[in-house]
Structure 1
Amino acid sequence: MPKAIWNDEIIAESDDTVVVEGNVYFPRSSLREDVLRPSDTHSVCVWKGKASYYTLESGEHRSEDAVWFYPDPKPDAKAVRDRVAFWKDVKVED
């Protein structure tokens, strides 16, 4: 089962993932709430739309904007609706 691992902890795990542009998107519901902090960062993808971010934080560990999601993806990107993906120091394993 695919897992997202950060700071030696599993922060998301699900059999219901999709891969878009080489990134594994997990259901938003599979992501641990206790490690999420809101972020004001946004970016724009031409075909997916406006992305929003979360920062990960646990104890003394913090990873700025390591989680992204599309709150209202464009129609061609419906596969990422209600899903999150990871970068920076988050490792995704099968």
Structure 2
Amino acid sequence: MKAIWNNTVIAESDDTVVVEGNHYFPATALKREFTAFSNHKSSCPWKGQASYLSLLVKGEMNPDAVWFYAEPRSGAEAVKDRVAFWKGVQVVE
């Protein structure tokens, strides 16, 4: 699977986990040179607190487009050390 934004592959892996329709990539598959800090947080009743990263590709910013659960709750261990995408990021095979 590939995660693509702004015509650039930002993550690629054959090892994704699908949770609630979202492909979670291993955190090591994310190309960190395309990420920027975000202080945004959100909460999921069963997964816990999500943290975010923004994308910066070819001079364009996509705020809070990457999310992850640093310490997922019991029952959500499948997303530990993984990242997922939204806000126009395409996930394709």
Q: TM-score range by the shorter chain?
A: over 0.9
Q: CA offsets, 1:50-74, max 9 Å, x none?
A: 0000000023211000000000000
One-letter identity of the residue aligned with 1:14? S
Output aligned runs, 1:27-66, within 5 Å: 27-66=26-65
- 1:1-94 matches, cutoff 5 A: 2-94=1-93
Which runs of 5 or more residues in structure 2 are unaligned? Answer: none
Runs of 4+ in 1 over 2 A off after TM superposition: none
Identity score, percent: 55
Tell me the number of residue pairs that the alignment of Structure 1 and Structure 2 aligns.
Answer: 93
Q: TM-score when scaled to structure 1? A: 0.97
TM-score of the two chains, using structure 2 as the length reference = 0.98
Deviation at 1:89, TM superposition (A): 1.3
RMSD: 0.6
CA distance in 1: counterparts of 2:88 and 2:61, whole angstroms? 10
Deviations 1:8-38 (A, max 9, x none): 0111000110000000000000000101111
Letter in 2 for 1:5: I
One-letter amino acid of the counterpart of residue 75, structure 1: S
Unaligned residue ranges in structure 1 (runs of 5+): none
The 8 Å contact of residues 8 and 57 in structure 2, kept in 1 or not, is answered as: no
Read off the aligned partner of 1:68 and give its amino acid letter. W
